[in-house]
Amino acid sequence: MMKLGIVGWRGMVGQVLMERMKAENDFSHFETTFFSTSQKNLQNPHQLENSHPLLQDAYDLEILKKMDIILTCQGGDYTKSVHGELRKKGFKGYWIDAASTLRMENSSVIVLDPLNLDVIQKSLQTGLKDYIGGNCTVSLMMLALGGLFKNKKIDWITSMTYQAASGAGARHMSELLSQMKFVTDDVLKEGLDLSEKILIIEKRVKNLLSHASFPKNHFGHPLAFNLLPWIDSELENGQSREEWKAEVEANKILQSQKIIPIDGTCVRVAAMRCHSQGLTIKLNQNIPLDEIESMIREHNSWVKLVPNNKSDSLKYLTPEYTSGNLQIPIGRIRKMNIGPEFVNAFTVGDQLLWGAAEPLRRMLHILLAH
Ligand code: HSE
């Protein structure tokens, strides 16, 4: 039985991963050791078959080295401090990681098997050992458009994202709720129907958002009743790092011979958990809409084509519908007035499932079958 070490199972992505692995009975295939950065030798809280009864030290390279596979959701700082040292010590096992640290290394593969199982399998044959989950918006966009990528119909894409608080982390989600409470507790003291004095209330909301006690330690700004058009750090070319990832990661996932340009604006919105994206797709030929839809629909079992009408869009094409769900709804698909090769689409995906945990647990099965 392969020895699996799990690090970072207590964080938000880790919890979602654990839930999925339990639901799919994944642990029955492995002898699992749970590692902790702070609680070594305490009782392992996961009573699973074949799991080590005690938590092990996540910085103990000798114990880590004994694993066949290490799967980490602990974050980039942990990867930076442990991965290189462990490899130097002679760790020959597989390293599966949710963090972005190793994503663009030549020695790593970005895993999104419904799109790149061939790339993953070729890399396994050539002996690559680092398999890294992609950026959430990139993975979700690629699953939605898998059929167009596979059939090589795309010239370029622009993506305008609407990314949930969950992408920033658990503390940010909690802060979003506190921000909402800070405002609503104040203004709703006046009653629930404020429509007659709504312009006065709107001014009060604006003042509350800049109030000295307004909770914004994590976001640094109000997200409630607002949006934030910058995610991650600044690059010299004017892109945010989140925007930069779209093209480089998508093309690395596909190992494209010809780079498909992808660019847009990434925006944080006050949704709790799912990332949405408005896409403009430039096709390399004029393809009838029903053929575009068939390609998208037939590509994988999770993509869900939503008819381009108001009621289906409002029901199925939302973070509310998609949260906690492995489906990837895509809709608003129509030819744009700009020209017959330009397609509009809107897609939503669960940032914690397909956007983070799911590609990692599926990589475990690919390794089992290897
Ligand atoms: N970087 C993403 C975000 C989440 O901030 O929404 C991680 O993929």
Residue 242 Cβ inside 6 Å of ligand 1? The answer reads yes
Q: How confident is the model at residue 41 (pLDDT cuts 50, 70, 90)?
A: confident
Whole-model pTM: value is 0.96
Atom of ligand 1 nearest to the CA of 163: 6
Ligand 1 centre distance from Cα of residue 352 (Å)? 10
Tokens 């802060």 -> residue:
175
Atom of ligand 1 nearest to the CA of 356: 8
Residue 161 Cβ inside 6 Å of ligand 1? The answer reads no
Of 40-49, 97-106, 238-247, 254-263, least confident by mean pLDDT is 40-49
pLDDT at 285: 97
In the chain, what percentage of residues exceed pLDDT 70? 100
- Catalytic status, residue 73: no
pLDDT in tens, 179-190: 999 999 999 998
Cα angle for residues 317, 322, 327 (degrees, 5° grid): 95
pLDDT in tens, 271-302: 999 999 999 999 999 999 999 999 999 999 99
pLDDT in tens, 348-359: 999 999 999 999
Pocket test for ligand 1, best of 73, 103, 135 (most atoms within 8 A of CB): 135
pLDDT at 39: 87
Average pLDDT value for residue range 312-320: 98
| Cβ(333)–Cβ(293) below 8 Å | yes
Cα angle for residues 123, 111, 121 (degrees, 5° grid): 30
- Catalytic status, residue 370: no
DSSP string, 63-92: HHHT-SEEEE-S-HHHHHHHHHHHHHTT--
